[in-house]
Structure 1
């Protein structure tokens, strides 16, 4: 089942899940259009040839909705699980997939048919799912944004002294804006996780004016995550830069929109989805064998049988969703701790801000053999 907004890598994961499950002797059902399709009974067997060519397709060929389990009704879902005799479930999707798995786990006491092994695979361009450093689809979206930013800057070739303000997607998660800013050489990236004021915006204007006037820079780029601040909108920032930057530079605004979700999946997302689904099938196979009852159905009430499969420090790990709930901001739909925030200081360093405003994470250690003849350190 897919849940959440479409993202590249979904189809590669489904293809891998179907084919590996079939080789292990399981009957594979595809639930179309998330829980809405489940309630309508749109659950059909999937075959080997049906998923041919899915790895290179974007979006969700199985169909997906942004409704979580409670929206569809837990009781209705439990009845359908019984009707279709489901013994294990893989959910591929964004934050809604994680939330749905958590809601199903919470409702197990009242609905025995939900006591099956469930694994969620994070797949969203926002990269905002807890328990995983990277989500399926985020790499493809990042490639698209970087390519668009390069094209935007290239469009100003021959036009001197212009600053572009571009808005990226991602909800309250600033992953795309931050990493795209690093990749495309942006002068600033405004995100929800790092608070900013109008004073900060004014300092960035002065920084751009100084670079253009004294350093010979002809173009600038500023990124803003879509929900970075409800008052300092992309339009507001663009107008402020236009007013305060005149006559040194002119300003143009670009809202990148849903083009970030499109395109063909990158090789990383195709392989990542294939590997994630393969590991998920292995785990489900072990759980089904372990918790099969003499009567036939698989039944387990253990909290560690509803998990999220994610990549943590280059290793694929299964983490119970109950554990992840404590480290999640459900209101803003983001993890409370995010590794990429440590990269934020690089933005200001590489943009050569006169006011850096960052903290170093390590100190240089004096080592005699690493000094040249004049006593300077060599890097």
Structure 2
């Protein structure tokens, strides 16, 4: 066992006797139960007394049967369940000092000085305030003889570890909050179902999704469904968004335009795209801070384009149902890390929130993360849109930039010279090797459009190495990859065949089409294939 493994080894029963409680607060989200399960079992493994606080802060204030000791079996068969089995409630009593006094007394009575809070930024902020007031609350309880001086001395420090459980993904400091991935699954499933009926009737559908004042769900749903337009609060549309939206929807539908002025008149539908999808975040606003609602968007489409337009509000179905595999794993990892954070805390340790950074569960200062989250709200209130997007994080910013680029109906004119050739002038190829997998088509679409946007020429190689040797190579255009995001399998085709002894034939085809760089998307076979083809490029 190397030194790092010895350092991270956690001895069973190493924190025997410590009191810890877990509760869920605010809106529920899929994956909360996985986190609760991980907290309970990790605490038991370490020898702690672990308690459920039912109904969130309200249960903490009310005490009694709302605070119960948990055991190993208490959390059996809950990892796959949505919502929260220990209940959640928004509590007004806890916002008052009198309510927090009651909560402190109830915790002291059970020897609890460690709390795992699973909820949104409001729940975590309340927990941090509770921690800051803890000593003064105990002093007041001693003065009123509610607790003894000995109890006050024994339990004079309260430690807090937070887990962000929210489908909105609106908390700064973590790549993903518990429940976001599951909510996105619900949204994408709904959009995929809507697309079928929209195509049949040549309709425009406006999907309203949740998110409060964060546009993450709407943005990622738009990116992964090839939606024609999206409205999010962090990046409001241009002042003339009505005309621009109608023009874009029209170009996707029609062959020709008669006029594009205040009173718009349109002619025949295109034989191509028969539907439009618009996604509206429930907190969407315009540049002046006024709400943009799904009904407002519908009226614009109907009045200007005369299209059959329907609204679908997904509502709380986005919170319901079983959590995705990602949210189950995320809840488990975060819950276990939260318990370790509490066990390793000292009197000087500040409250932390367990976050996801890449694929690692990390601890960050709770107050700092809350302040960064509040800074986003302030930036939007001050109409500093670029700052708001920046504060959401690099992932959010990249998603927005990628969406704006990939959903163009055609590449910009600046990508080509007078003869129609790409200004960059590189020639690139893309192909698959190995078995097909979900997401291959989305990767090809993104690659093709990114390259064309830069001004490069892209060749799609059908059927892997076999297709390359046979010359089954297609010059890819912007519109060739429209609709590929939601398609399974591999639209270019794929085979497990490797170059083997035919490497010279591969080289001849690459030279014939003047391919300077090649993207290979596939499984383990890619590694072998890549080495052989790289040697060809070297020669």
Question: TM-score band, normalised by the shorter chain?
Answer: 0.7 to 0.9
Q: Find the aligned partners of 2:302 and 2:427 in 1 and give their Cα distance.
A: 51
Find the counterpart in structure 1 of residue 399 from structure 2.
Answer: 343
Deviations 1:155-206 (A, max 9, x none): 224212x211111001000000011111111111110000224512320211
- Looking at structure 2, the residues matched to 98 and 29 of structure 1 have their Cα atoms a distance apart, in angstroms, of 19
Q: Please list, as runs of the form range in 1=range in 2, the aligned pairs for 1:144-183 lying within 5 A after superposition.
A: 144-160=186-202, 162-183=203-224
Equivalent position SS for 2:57: helix
CA distance in 2 between partners of 1:137 and 1:242 (Å): 35
Pair 1:111-2:169 in alignment: no
Structure 2 Cα separation of the partners of residues 280 and 343 of structure 1:
29
Residue by residue over 1:65-122, the C-alpha shift from the partner in whole angstroms, topping out at 9 and shown as x without a partner, is 2347525733332222222221211011122232223322432452355732210011
- C-alpha contact (below 8 Å) 2:128/2:160 kept by paired residues: no
Highest Rg: 1 or 2? 2
Aligned residues of 2:198 and 2:205 also touching (Cα < 8 A): no
Q: Tell me the equivalent position of 1:278.
A: 336
For the 8 Å contact 1:70–1:103, the answer to whether it is kept is no
Q: Which secondary structure state, in structure 1, belongs to the residue aligned with residue 310 of structure 2?
A: strand
Change (3 A) 1:130 1:283: same
Aligned residues: 356
- Secondary structure class of the residue paired with 1:195: coil
Once superposed, what is the RMSD of the aligned Cα atoms? 2.8
Aligned to 1:192: 233
Among 276, 280, 303, the alignment partner of 1:224 is: 280
Q: Which runs of 5+ in 1 are unaligned?
A: 292-299, 357-363
Residue pair 2:134, 2:158 contacting (<8 A) in 1 also: no
Q: What is the match of residue 303 of structure 2? A: 243
For 1:21 and 1:312, the matched residues in 2 are separated by 24
- Between the aligned partners of 2:210 and 2:96, the Cα distance in structure 1 is 24
- Does residue 32 (structure 1) correspond to residue 92 (structure 2)? The answer is no
For the 8 Å contact 1:32–1:64, the answer to whether it is kept is yes
Show structure 2 runs of 5+ residues with no match.
Answer: 1-22, 139-154, 256-269, 381-387, 413-422, 430-455, 457-510, 519-539
Distance 1:205 1:147 in 2: 26
Go from structure 1 to structure 2 and tell me whether the alpha carbon gap of 1:367 and 1:352 turns closer, same or farther (over 3 Å shift).
Answer: closer
Match of 1:11 in 2: 33
Structure 1 residues 71-80 or 220-229, which shifts more? 71-80
- Tell me: CA distance 1:176–1:104, structure 2 relative to 1, closer, same or farther (3 Å): same
Distance 1:45 1:236, change over 3 A: same
Query: TM-score normalised to the size of structure 2?
Result: 0.61
CA distance in 2, matches of 1:148, 1:223: 12
Q: Separation in 1 of the partners of 2:219 and 2:254?
A: 26
Question: What is the alpha-carbon distance in structure 1 between the residues aligned to residue 234 and residue 96 of structure 2?
Answer: 28
CA contact (8 A) 1:120 1:309 kept: yes
Which shifted more, 205-214 or 105-114? 105-114
